[in-house]
Amino acid sequence: MKTTWGARSSPGGIILASWGQIERIVSRSDVVLFVLDARDPLNTFSPKLIKLVNRHGRRILLVLNKCDLIPRRIAEEWKSYFENKGYPTVYVAATRRMGTIKLRTAIKHVAPSLPAVASVVGYPKVGKSSIINALKGKHSASTSPYPGNPGYTKTFQFYRVDENLLMIDTPGILPAEGDPLEKVLRGYPPEKLDDPVNPAIMLIQRILKYNPRAFLDAYGIESKEPLRILEEVAIHRGWFYKKTKEPLIEEAARAIIRDYHDGKLTYYIKPSQVNFELGASNDKSKNSRVQ
């Protein structure tokens, strides 16, 4: 469904929302599902969103998605980590419909009352649409939330998950802010990067730090040197400059970023490996990065 409130589409096909538009979604929700990438949860966490949800007095539920890409024990560790910080948390693999029942139960448990309206918010590429589709199921139908309630407008389309749960069928896509690596980890479209090589090198270094076999498993590349990895990806896929016949590493850089977003390059962070304060108020602060 296309939104009607002025969101604009990026070259990467992602609808870019403003914080004002995120606030409209939050204000019309009883429960906000904040979706994080389970591989690197803290780099897809936004203290700014938490402050916004709290300001409106809404409930929040953290949803660790893509848990099929990490060991279950790591998902459990992150669940405990966030819950110890005071955030109700559930982990799922939405594209595989894993954890959907637990997610529905958790939403109702967090909701202040029933029936409730839920929304799905997060950075690009964390799987918000997959979660919406998993919750909607095969037999859902659009509906209006509470007939005659002036607090809800016709701006959004709603789906009835069941008799006690309605869902806004418009994902709230957070602006992918931060330094070059943070932006890439937060789903910034590689097609929009004027120079994708430096962010890709930073991403490669991060992936190798936590999974030295990642590029061997994904591409059969044994090198641990980022530029060499980019060259080999370009050579393997036949990407060369026409005049010089040198490997087109810019296109390889974009491909590696896309493959990370799509889960083809795997690594994960453990809670014990991070230094992060969830109370930080600025996404761009030093505390907002995993050290």
SS3 string, 219-266, reads HCCCCCCHHHHHHHHHHHCCCECCCCCCECHHHHHHHHHHHHHCCCCC
Shared domain for 110 and 148, answered yes or no, is yes
Whichever domain contains 55, its CATH number is 3.40.50.300
Higher-pLDDT residue of 218, 279: 218
Number of neighbouring beta carbons within 10 Å of residue 287 = 18
The CA–CA distances, whole Å, from 161 to 114, 156, 188, 259, 270 equal 13, 16, 30, 32, 33
Bond from prior residue into 180 cis (ω within 30 degrees of 0): no
- List all residues 6 or more positions away from 40 whose beta carbon is below 8 Å from its beta carbon: 185, 267, 268, 269, 290
Is pLDDT above 70 for 120? yes
What's the domain count of the chain?
A: 2
Shared domain for 100 and 212, answered yes or no, is no
Would you state the pLDDT for residue 146? 46
Q: What average pLDDT is seen over the chain? A: 86
In angstroms, rounded to a whole number, what is the distance separating the alpha carbons of residues 163 and 14?
A: 32
Shared domain for 95 and 220, answered yes or no, is no
Would you state the pLDDT for residue 285? 34
Answer yes or no: are the C-beta atoms of 49 and 22 closer than 8 Å: yes
Shared domain for 148 and 54, answered yes or no, is yes
Shared domain for 188 and 57, answered yes or no, is no
Answer yes or no: are the C-beta atoms of 174 and 122 closer than 8 Å: yes
Task: Residue 164: give the domain boundaries.
Answer: 8-173
Is pLDDT above 50 for 147? no
Is pLDDT above 70 for 2? no
Range of lowest pLDDT (31-40, 154-163, 207-216):
154-163
Higher-pLDDT residue of 137, 42: 42
In the chain, the amino acid numbered 221 is I
The CA–CA distances, whole Å, from 121 to 29, 171, 174, 275 equal 11, 6, 7, 24
pLDDT band of 139, cuts 50, 70, 90? low
pLDDT band of 93, cuts 50, 70, 90? very high
Residue 291 in any domain: the answer is no
Identify the CA nearest to 128 among candidates 209, 230, 49, 47: 49
Is pLDDT above 50 for 221? yes
Is pLDDT above 60 for 80? yes
Residue 288 in any domain: the answer is no
- Mean pLDDT throughout 46-58? 97
Shared domain for 65 and 114, answered yes or no, is yes
Shared domain for 132 and 210, answered yes or no, is no
User: Over pLDDT 90: what percentage of the chain?
Assistant: 76
Shared domain for 185 and 166, answered yes or no, is no
Shared domain for 12 and 148, answered yes or no, is yes
pLDDT in tens, 16-30: 568 999 999 999 999
pLDDT in tens, 237-277: 999 998 999 999 999 999 999 999 999 999 999 999 987 55
Residue 82: phi and psi, rounded to 5, are -70, -40
Whichever domain contains 266, its CATH number is 1.10.1580
Would you state the pLDDT for residue 281? 34
Shared domain for 154 and 229, answered yes or no, is no
pLDDT in tens, 154-174: 567 889 999 999 999 889 999
Residue 62 in any domain: the answer is yes
Would you state the pLDDT for residue 140? 54
Shared domain for 135 and 153, answered yes or no, is yes
Q: What would you report as the CA-atom Rg of the chain, rounded to the nearest whole angstrom?
A: 20
287-291 long-range contacts (CB < 8 A, ≥24 apart) are: 288/42, 288/43, 288/45, 288/47, 288/178, 288/182, 289/43, 289/178, 289/179, 289/181, 289/182, 290/40, 290/42, 290/43
Is pLDDT above 60 for 291? no
Under DSSP, is residue 16 helix (H, G, I), strand (E, B) or coil?
Answer: strand
- List all residues 6 or more positions away from 114 whose beta carbon is below 8 Å from its beta carbon: 108, 164, 165
Under DSSP, is residue 27 helix (H, G, I), strand (E, B) or coil?
Answer: helix
In angstroms, rounded to a whole number, what is the distance separating the alpha carbons of residues 121 and 249?
A: 33
Would you state the pLDDT for residue 274? 83
Q: Answer left, alpha or beta for residue 271, where phi above 0 means left and psi between -120 and 50 means alpha.
A: alpha
Shared domain for 80 and 148, answered yes or no, is yes
